[in-house]
Each structure stands twice: as structure tokens, then as C-alpha cells.
Amino acid sequence: MAKVNIGLRGWRFDEDVLNDEGKVRPLKTLEPEVRQRILVLADRVVDPCDACWLVHGEENVEACNVAEVIYGEPRGSVVLCSVHEPDFLYWFREAGGDAYAGELELRDAFYEWFDDGNRAPDDYEGLDHVEEDPTALPEAPDASEAVPGLQEEIDELDDEDLEAIETDLSDLDV
């Protein structure tokens, strides 16, 4: 089965998480881990790049680039723009970040490394991304555009459905 990115590069999903119209299948039909990743992705897709945010701060968030890629675990994820993705990859590959693979502490460890002034060398090459349709997403998508069908799915859930999927949606801004 083919893998697809939804909204951001990085997290790959089996293509069967989407229905024939290209929308996310009903949440209650997804495996709990997949459902959690979809919900976190919908929340993070509208965030600024974490590295830009560390540089510019909350008071100057408009200077931040839009997130393009996501790495890490759902509650310890890092979202980055293409300018700062090489910094993360360098940290992960060359500066010990791989010790945090699969750990929620990955985000905090990267933040600490980046806040200490560390960066990838200027000549460091990150990843070459091959995009079939590089204009498929608007520059700053909202969650309903980036994760098609999710808002409608959330709107249809009642308290019993929410309990059945055991997911807290209160922190999500979709």
C-alpha cells in the first residue's frame, strides 16, 4: 500500500486513511495511533516553524515561516520550515538528536540545542524532496484544507463518540 503525506511532509500515512474523495476517513474507523497522529497534525499544520518561533518569539510570530514538515512523536513533534529543516536534520543525524528518536523529549531536546545557538553548517545538505504537485497546498493552509474532511468529522461527534475514540479534542484548533 502506498504512503501519503497529509498537510505537511514527514509523517507518512497509509493511503487508506483517505476515502475516495480524498478526505480523512471517519475518525472512529481509524486505529487509535493513526487517529491521534491525524488530530495532532491538524493542530500543528497551522503553526509557525518551531525554529522561527524560537528566534522571533510569540510577540513577533508574523516574522515566522509557515511549517512545511513535521518530525517526532505526536505530543513531542517539531514543525519546521524548509529554511530550518536542515538544522533539525543536522542535529538529529550529526549532533546526537537520534538518541531521542521515538521519545516525547525530542522537541525539548531540539529546542535546547537550537536555543544554545547551534545550527547546521552552511554547506550541510538536508533532504531532497520530490513533490508531485508543489502548489497543492496554499502557503498557509488552515486545518480544514490541510486535513480534508476532519472538521466535518469532528462536528459530527457526540460525547459518546468522543468517549469511544478516547481522544481529547479540546486542545485542537480545527
CB atoms within 10 A of CB 146: 21
Per-residue pLDDT of 74-97, as tens digits, reads 889 999 999 999 999 999 999 999
**Nearest residue to 19 via CA among 121, 133, 150:** 150
Per-residue pLDDT of 134-174, as tens digits, reads 444 334 445 566 566 677 767 777 667 666 665 555 555 54
Q: Answer whether residue 25 shows pLDDT above 60.
A: yes
Given this model, what pLDDT does residue 139 score?
Answer: 42
Q: Answer whether residue 132 shows pLDDT above 90.
A: no
Q: What is the mean pLDDT of residues 30-59?
A: 93
Contact by Cβ (8 Å): 36, 25 = no
Q: Answer whether residue 70 shows pLDDT above 90.
A: yes
Given this model, what pLDDT does residue 166 score?
Answer: 56
CA distance 65 to 47: 9
Question: How many residues appear in the chain?
Answer: 174
Spell out the domain ranges in the chain.
3-148
Lowest-pLDDT choice from 11-15, 25-29, 107-111, 127-131 = 127-131
Q: Helices in 24-167 by DSSP H: which ranges?
A: 32-44, 50-56, 85-94, 106-115, 143-146, 150-156, 159-165
Cell numbers at 137, concatenated:
497546498
Given this model, what pLDDT does residue 141 score?
Answer: 47
CA distance 159 to 96: 43
Q: What's the pTM?
A: 0.73
